[in-house]
Amino acid sequence: VCRETAEWLQARTARCPRTAIICGSGLGGLADALEDKTAFAYEDIPHFPRSTVPSGGHHVHQRPHQPVWGGRSQAGEQLQPSLPLCLGSLQVTFPIRVFFLLGVENLIVTNAAGGLNPQFQVGDIMFIRDHISLFGVAGHNPLRGPNDERFGARFPCMSDAYDQELLGLARESAQELGFQSFTREGVYCLLPGPCYETIAECRLLQALGADAVG
């Protein structure tokens, strides 16, 4: 199915992307601001998940070396009462697999998250250096099931999940732009949603070492 989606996109553009950007809440305008682009509506792309969030975006925009996904499918909005949670996680990660088949080597993901670190301020930018997936700890990992070797090893090592070179570039860019006063680094915690966290849950996540949650 992923291959069918990738082939559909490849048949409609000669572009060969190397880096993909997912625009989270509030950043959909980034995709709209692109000048040299090819845009595809989600509903026109075979098998592509639809976002049900009003500001979630509806297009994949492609530049010569960079597809920009305007909005993201969230675990909480994709799941239905009759849909196993592990299948919902597969829906959420489906576009990432498509990006890989398109030749994408780097993925930049953005979103609006809740701060847990008391030293953080509203509006801060956090570079993720590690994550806690309670989604995965609960047994709902999108890698469960038969392994597709096209996408990697059966048991991938997660001790260095975030590229240090890209993190270095992010730090340099923040310095050049004068953003040092509101850029942070930390551990992101993933929850399935759709409800926000309780106060007690936030305290628990802080104790686990999470700096932000979403």
pTM, entire model: 0.81
Of the ranges 4-13, 134-143, 165-174, which one carries the lowest mean pLDDT score?
A: 134-143
> Which of 111, 139, 171 delimits the end of a domain?
111
4/98 same-domain check: yes
**Pairwise pLDDT comparison (143 vs 155), residue with the higher score:** 155
164's tokens: 């240090």
- If asked whether residues 92 and 129 sit together in one domain, one would say no
Q: What is the pLDDT of residue 84?
A: 42
Together in a domain, 58 and 20:
yes
The pLDDT value given to residue 36: 79
88: domain CATH number is 3.40.50.1580
Q: What is the pLDDT of residue 70?
A: 56
Asked if 20 and 69 sit in the same domain, the reply is yes
For residue 124, pLDDT over 50 is answered with: yes
50-71 tens-digit pLDDT: 765 554 455 565 555 556 655 4
Instruction: Please give the C-alpha separations between residue 121 and each of 77, 115, 170, 192, 198, in angstroms, as whole numbers.
Output: 27, 8, 19, 24, 19
The winner for highest mean pLDDT among 37-41, 61-65, 71-75, 131-135 is 131-135
Mean pLDDT rounded to a whole number for the chain? 83
Residue 27 and residue 84 in one domain:
yes
**Residue ranges making up the domain that contains 206:** 113-214
> What average pLDDT does this structure show over 31-42?
81
Who has greater pLDDT, 70 or 90?
A: 90
125 and 106 co-located in one domain: no
Spatial distance between the Cα atoms of 214 and 139, rounded to a whole number of angstroms? 18
Number of folded domains that form the chain: 2
Residues 202 and 151 in one domain: yes
**pLDDT (mean) for 73-88:** 42
Q: Where are the alpha helices (DSSP H) in the chain?
A: 2-10, 28-32, 75-78, 85-101, 134-137, 164-177, 199-208
- What average pLDDT score do residues 69-82 get? 43
- The residue among 111, 135, 170 that closes a domain is 111
Same domain, 38 and 79: yes
Which of these ranges, 74-88, 131-145, 152-166, 172-186, has the smallest mean pLDDT? 74-88
